[in-house]
Chains A and B, each alone.
Chain A
């Protein structure tokens, strides 16, 4: 009993050591970058932290969190199954643009209108991810390559769809092509904080709920068990009767559906239209976050908060004469140091375990020998 407790504590320690080590390394490297560019290495971080006290920045961070959390969960579903859905970005964008178009074309009473938009996003996201899933299960095409290609195809499709000949609109005196504004019945109600700070998107709570569902399905249902089992060892899962191909397809569809949701906080709560300003690269940020949060719903939530903070607080840096791009560098450094430190910590844990097992076996053997000689 005592041993089991000790083992768990060690695992917990090792689990925390990974991200802490990674963040420390990333921070140290960012400081080095700042020093190398002849800037004050500490003040940018002070500015970013002090901006946290301002209400508008807080609201921005919380709203951004919802998008990042959903994108990261989409990636994490795949990761749990050893699937690399690099295509979350394309799925999210294509879902957002089509949901926006449907939202403009359809008019319905409030909740129904919103529901139609959300369902469109879910369906589009999962279809786009499903293409990669079918290619993998039916033809053995690596999902990494196919989703990269599908990202690019989605980008071009979107560029074509927002043209004026198709579904695009152009406001007078603006270069931006948009899909037109969704009627107010299709706006997701938010919580107003103040006139200055704006409102917190209502979809933030949906994102949190999706996190709870993710936790429940993965750790409390048969399906989740099968999914994690296939990820850990495909042959073992197959031996216990799991249909690997079906699992690949289903988890791709789920991943795509969640990716489709990722565009909704912004679309339903913020812009109410899809324009060329709609954020790009969210899927890739999602990969960073899922890695940092180790695919764990709570870990991912914290990781999403951290990255949302870096994103939003760094825009204050420009006002103070520091390049906000330092946050982008930090993100890249975080991914790299996170994966390296996780791998190192894992190996260290493995060595410790081997060592301990070896010691116990040696002690046992010694005892046996003593007994024999006695």
Chain B
């Protein structure tokens, strides 16, 4: 956990590190260490599936919608508008995308999914930016409205064309790509269950096997967001609206305009994430988003309002999600051991830093987890589903002093009132 926050803190924003700077060599060392640990746990527990090609590719597939929602939250909050309405915008994205998708093909679906999200974003922007409504209230309203509207619309559309009031007719899936030689080679290597080598092969294989074109697009959006927001004048202005809108205004930035753009982009990303869900399932179902908008919000906070951190959070939560999907009671059980080892390392670190109280606390938690690991054979799927939320709360509780959200995030802004 500690390594993750360190990584996110010192990523693209280029914030000066206080004590220790996370450079590329360090990152590689940490990554290698993590891989060794995972591999070790796999050998001890015999849960070979935790790094299998199938598991990794499922994790990637599930991480994409969460990550897109997270990126959406990032855009909006960087411009100072809190976006609780991501869930609603995602719902609009799934519905509109599926509605267009089953009639005119998947890529039209993508476009309409984005449009659906944009509609939600536009509504949020009108309410919060133009009318000065509290951001959270507006977000809650959008979630309620999106749910009601899609339920209403489903009755008129899907029911009459082979679906039902709760689901659409099936949608053609977007093409997937598999790197022909490499994929098979990695699968064979992964199947050998060697220490470290097979795990690396599992990760590499998961990334090159059956990957949707939409996934590639989504991954590309992460560096694109970073570049746009942190390396262009446009991004600087947009972020200045989230940090100090009155200062931005005094420099001639049209704060309203930038906030509108940010919230609309936010909606578009959430909508795309929503359509991704419909595409992955090949069908629209009521309740398909399953709180992923909220998990997206959580990943953004977990990632300290930075694209790299958000992506990392999405991968982590996507991975826990995939454990559940692939009936992973045993696999999660194996990962408990990994958690225990990590906590034990944290205890050592805290003792080295002469912090006895947190060390004792961590040790107790580790001991409880170890007891849980030894006393049971499986972790109930409900607890696995809880993991992203618990992680977010723990991260917030432990690192809230080191997380840094945009200064004017969620504050009302009126032109000329600075």
Contact = CB atoms under 8 A, between A and B. Distances in A.
B36 interface: no
A159 B141 CA distance: 26
Interface residues of A, number: 41
Best-surrounded residue of A139, A150, A152, A330 (most CB of chain B within 10 A): A152
A141 B400 contact: yes
A167 to B, nearest CB: 13
A111 interface: no
Given A325-B151, A331-B148, A332-B148, A84 B382 contact: no
Residue from the set B301, B383, B386 with the largest chain A CB neighbour count within 10 Å: B386
B382 A160 contact: yes
A163 B143 CA distance: 29
A284 B297 CA distance: 18
A59 interface: no
Given A328-B147, A329-B149, A340-B133, A152 B397 contact: no
A332 B149 contact: yes
Interface in A328-367: 328-333, 335-336, 339-340, 343-344, 347
A86 B297 CA distance: 14
A284 B140 contact: yes
B152 A336 contact: no
Contacts of B151: 325, 328
Nearest to B382: A160
A369 B121 CA distance: 55
B390 interface: yes
Given A139-B397, A332-B149, A335-B140, A149 B392 contact: yes
A109 to B, nearest CB: 36
A89 to B, nearest CB: 11
Contacts of A150: 389, 393
B393 A325 contact: no
B152 A160 contact: no
Contacts of B131: 340, 343-344
Q: How large is the interface on B (under 10, 10 to 19, 20 to 34, 35 or more residues)?
A: 35 or more
A149 B152 contact: no
Chain B interface main SS type: helix
A153 B390 contact: yes
Interface string A4-42: 000000000000000000000000000001000100000
Interface in B91-134: 123, 127, 131-134
B152 A326 contact: yes
Contacts of A160: 380, 382-383
A224 interface: no
Nearest to B396: A141
A323 interface: yes
Interface in A47-73: none
Nearest to A135: B397
B129 to A, nearest CB: 12
B147 A141 contact: no
Interface string B122-166: 010001000111101110111111111101100110000000000
Contacts of A331: 144, 148
Nearest to B384: A156
Nearest to A166: B380
Contacts of B178: none
Contacts of B136: 84, 86, 144
B303 to A, nearest CB: 13
A148 interface: yes
Contact of A332 (B84, B145, B382, B401): B145
B385 interface: yes
A230 interface: no
A27 to B, nearest CB: 15
Contacts of A148: 84, 294, 297
Contact of A152 (B134, B138, B143, B386): B386
B297 A157 contact: no
Given A152-B386, A156-B382, A329-B149, A146 B123 contact: no
A145 B403 CA distance: 14
Interface string B7-25: 0000000000000000000
A344 B148 CA distance: 26
Given A157-B382, A284-B143, A325-B155, A146 B393 contact: yes
A153 B389 contact: yes
Interface in A272-295: 284, 287-288, 291
A140 interface: yes
Contacts of B291: 152
Interface in B327-382: 380, 382
B148 A329 contact: yes
Contacts of B306: none
B200 interface: no
A160 B380 CA distance: 8
A339 B380 contact: no
Contact of A323 (B82, B141, B144, B155): B155
B90 interface: no
Contacts of A156: 382-383, 385-386, 389
B88 to A, nearest CB: 9
A139 B402 CA distance: 11
Given A152-B294, A156-B385, A339 B134 contact: yes
A202 B147 CA distance: 33
A145 B392 contact: yes
Contacts of A326: 152
B396 A135 contact: yes
Contacts of A33: 152
B68 interface: no
B270 interface: no
A329 B145 contact: yes
Contacts of A141: 393, 396-397, 400
B298 A149 contact: yes
Contacts of A84: 136
A149 B302 CA distance: 12
Given A148-B297, A159-B382, A326-B152, 17 more contacts: A37-B152, A135-B396, A145-B298, A145-B301, A146-B393, A153-B393, A160-B383, A291-B137, A323-B155, A323-B156, A328-B147, A328-B148, A336-B127, A339-B127, A339-B133, A339-B137, A343-B131
8 contacts: A37-B152, A144-B84, A156-B383, A328-B144, A329-B149, A333-B145, A339-B137, A340-B133
Query: Nearest 4 A-B pairs (CB), nearest first?
Result: A332-B145, A328-B148, A160-B382, A325-B152
